[in-house]
Chains A and B, each alone.
Chain A
Amino acid sequence: MRAALRHARYVLSDNPVTLAAFVLFSGFVVLAVAGPWLAPYDPLATDTARAMQAPSLAHWFGTDALGRDILSRIVVATRLDFGIAVSAVALSFALGIALGLAAGFFGGWWDRVILRLADTIMAFPLFVLAMGIVAALGNSVANIVYATAIINLPFYIRVARAEAGVLRNAGFVEAARLSGNGDWRILSHHVFPNILPPAMVQVSLNMGWAILNAAGLSFIGLGVRPPTPEWGIMVAEGATYIISGEWWVAFFPGAVLMLAVFCFNLLGDGLRDIIDPRRRT
C-alpha cells in the first residue's frame, strides 16, 4: 500500500496535468459531500424581485427566471450528478465483470449467450437505447441509473472476457486448480484480482461519459424533475434565454458539467499511466 502511494506520488509529480485533474476532482468530491452546507443560498428559494440578474458580487453566477441563485444550485447539484454516475458505473462494473468473467473463463454456451447480449446492446446508438429504456421503465432518477448502467455493460464484458480468456490457461491458474481449488474459488481469488487493473482504467474512462449521458437524458426531460437542481436540467432551463442574451443561466451549469467530464477524462488517462505495468517499471 505504501509503495503504491509512493508510486502514485511519483507519477503525479511527473505529470502536472493529472495532478491538476486530481485536485479538481477532490474539489468536486468536497462539493458532492458538503454541497448543501457550502451553498450561499437556498437552491430552491424563489424570489421574483431578483429574477434574471446578471452575475454580481452577491450572486456570482447570477440568478435564473425564478430568482434562484445559480451558484447554489450548481453546488447542490454536484451530489446528484456524481451520485448517478457513480452508481451507474458501479452497477455496470459489478454485472459486466461477472458476465465477462463467466464468458471468458467457461467459454462455450456462456460465451456465446453473453457475447450476443453485449452485441445486441452495441447494435443500438447507445444514447438512443438509454432513452428507450428510461421511457419504458418510467421517468425516474433510478431508471436513469439503470439505463446508463446497461449501455455501459458491453465495455466491461469485453475487458473481463478478453482478460479471463487469456488467464484461464495461465500457469498460476493451472497450479491453483491442481492444488484442489474449485472453479468459483479460482475465479474470485485468482482471476478476478488480475483483471482489476484494466477494469479500473475502464471505470475512470467511463465516469465522464456516464455523467454526460445522465445530464443529456435530463436535458431532454427524462429522469430528474424540476425544481430539483441538476446540471443537465439547468442547461435546459437556460436554453430559452440564451438567444435573447441571458447567457449565464445556461452557461455556468454547462461549463461546470464540461469541467467535471474533462476532469474525469484527464484522470482516466493519468490512472492508466499509474496502473499500466509497462509504465510502472
Chain B
Amino acid sequence: MIRIVALRLVGALPNLAGVVVVTFLLTRALPGDPAAFFAGAAASAEAVEQIREKLGLNRNLVEQFGLYLRDLARGDFGQSLSTGQPVLTELVSRLPASLELTFCALVFATVVALPLGVAAARRPGSWIDHLCRLVTTAGVSLPTFFTGLLLAYVFYFLLGVAPSPLGRLDPVFTPPPPVTRMYLIDSLLAGEGTVFRACLAQIALPAVTMGLFVLAPLARMTRASMLGVLSSDFIRTARAAGLASPTVLYTYAFRNALLPVVTTLGMVFSFLLGSNVLVEKVFAWPGIGSYAIESLTASDYAPIQGFVLAMGVLYVLLNLAIDLLYGLIDPRVRLEA
C-alpha cells in the first residue's frame, strides 16, 4: 500500500512542477514591467526599484526562477498592497472557508446525483430518466453567479426562509472557537447547537448553487456506467441465482458502477474550484476566491498570483487523493502496482 501511495506521489510531481512554472511565467515572462505590477498603480519610483531588486528582475530568467523557488520554499508569497499582510497568511486564514463551502457543495451534489443516476438507469425511458436528462443538460447550462442570485431572491427576499445571503455567519452570533476554522466543524466541537444551525442555514444557498452546477457530470456518468453494468453478464447471473433485488443493485452493480464516477471527480473538482470564485463573490463568502477578486479590483498582483498557485496546488492534491481513492475501491489497481 505504501508503495502505491509513493508511486502516485511521484506521478503528481510533474503536474506540481507545471503549476509552479506557469504561475512564475504568468508574471515574469509577459510584456510589461513585473516590478510595476507588484508595486501597484500608486507606487513611487523608489518602491518599484525596491521590488525589482527583491524579485531579482535585473537577472536572467533562470536565476529569477531560482529566487522564486527560494521564496516559495520560505513561504514568502509576497505582500498584499491593500491589506499590508503577507499573502500566505491571508490565504491560509481564508482557505478553510472555501474548503468548507466546496465540500458542502460536493456532498450536496453527490447525495442528489448518485440516486438520480441510479434511478434513471434502472428504468431507461421512464419519467425519472427524462428528469435526469433535463437536470444534466440544464445543470451545465446554468451560470453559477446567476443561479446564486436567483436562489437568494427566492429564498431570502420572497420566502424569507434563508438568512441574509452575506458572509459565513449572521453577525448576531459569535464565531465558534477556531480549531479547524471550518465553522460547521468548530461549532460541533464546541457543542454550540444554535451556532451550528445558523452556519448551516448560511452555507445552504451557496453550497446548493455550486452543487447544482456539478450535479450534471456526476448524474450523467452514474447513469451511463450503471446502465453498462446492469446489462452485463454477472448481473444477469446474480438475478438468475435468485438474489434479492437490492443486493444485486447495491452490492453488485453499484460498487462496479462507481469506478468511472470516481474518475469524473477530477473534472468535478475543476468545476467546483472555478465556480467557487463566482459563488463567493455572489454570497460575500470570505474565502480565497473573494480575496482574489478584491485584489483584482485593487490591481494588487501578489495575492492573485498566490491565489492561482494555491488553487493549482490544491487541485493537484485533490487529483492525487482521487487517484488514491480509486486504488482503494478498485482491488485490481492495487494488484497491478
Contact = CB atoms under 8 A, between A and B. Distances in A.
Interface of A: 116, 119-120, 122-129, 131-133, 135-138, 208-209, 212, 215-216, 219-222, 232, 235-236, 238-239, 242-245, 247, 250-251, 254-255, 257-258, 261-262, 265-266, 269
Contacts of A127: 273-275, 277-278
B278 A219 contact: yes
Contacts of B157: 242-245, 247
B interface bracket (residues with beta carbon within 8 Å of A): 35 or more
A31 B27 CA distance: 39
B234 interface: no
B13 to A, nearest CB: 11
Given A125-B311, A254-B149, 13 more contacts: A123-B316, A125-B271, A129-B308, A131-B277, A131-B296, A132-B26, A132-B307, A133-B26, A136-B27, A137-B30, A220-B293, A247-B153, A261-B142
Most buried by B among A129, A136, A261: A136
A255 B149 CA distance: 11
A239 B156 CA distance: 14
Nearest to A253: B146
Contacts of A262: 137-138, 141
B145 interface: yes
A123 B15 contact: yes
B146 A250 contact: yes
Most buried by B among A126, A208, A269: A126
A128 B312 contact: yes
B140 A242 contact: no
Nearest to B21: A120
B315 interface: yes
A235 B30 contact: no
Contact of B274 (A128, A243, A245): A128
B121 interface: no
Contact of A120 (B18, B138, B141): B18
B296 A135 contact: yes
Nearest to A266: B137
B120 interface: no
Given A132-B26, A242-B157, A235 B146 contact: yes
A125 B273 contact: yes
B143 A254 contact: yes
B305 A132 contact: yes
Nearest to B213: A212
A258 B212 CA distance: 14
B149 A250 contact: yes
Given A123-B312, A123-B315, A129-B308, A221 B22 contact: no
Interface in B249-291: 269-275, 277-278, 281-282
A244 B152 CA distance: 11
Interface of B: 14-16, 18-19, 21-23, 26-27, 30, 32, 137-138, 140-146, 149-150, 152-153, 156-157, 164-165, 269-275, 277-278, 281-282, 292-293, 296-297, 301, 304-305, 307-308, 311-312, 315-316
Most buried by B among A135, A219, A250, A262: A135
A280 B165 CA distance: 51
Most buried by A among B149, B164, B293: B149
A211 to B, nearest CB: 9
Most buried by A among B143, B272, B304, B308: B143
Contacts of B18: 116, 119-120, 123
Most buried by B among A125, A238, A247, A261: A125
Contact of B145 (A129, A216, A261): A216
A265 B140 CA distance: 8
Contacts of B293: 220-221
A43 to B, nearest CB: 20
Nearest to A247: B153
Contacts of B152: 242-243
Contact of B22 (A120, A137, A247, A265): A120
A261 B143 contact: yes
B20 to A, nearest CB: 10
B296 A220 contact: yes
Contacts of A135: 296, 301, 304
Nearest to B319: A123
9 contacts: A119-B14, A125-B273, A135-B304, A215-B143, A221-B297, A242-B157, A254-B143, A258-B142, A261-B141
A126 B141 contact: no
Contact of A239 (B21, B27, B141, B282): B282
A141 to B, nearest CB: 16
B145 A136 contact: no
B292 A124 contact: no
B281 A254 contact: no
Contacts of B304: 131-132, 135
A222 B293 CA distance: 10
A254 B150 contact: yes
B15 A128 contact: no
A41 B156 CA distance: 33
Task: Please provide the 7 A-B residue pairs with the shortest distance between their CB atoms, ordered closest to farther.
Answer: A127-B274, A254-B146, A120-B18, A125-B273, A132-B308, A262-B141, A123-B15
A138 B41 CA distance: 13
Contacts of A116: 14, 18
B296 A222 contact: yes
A136 B164 contact: no
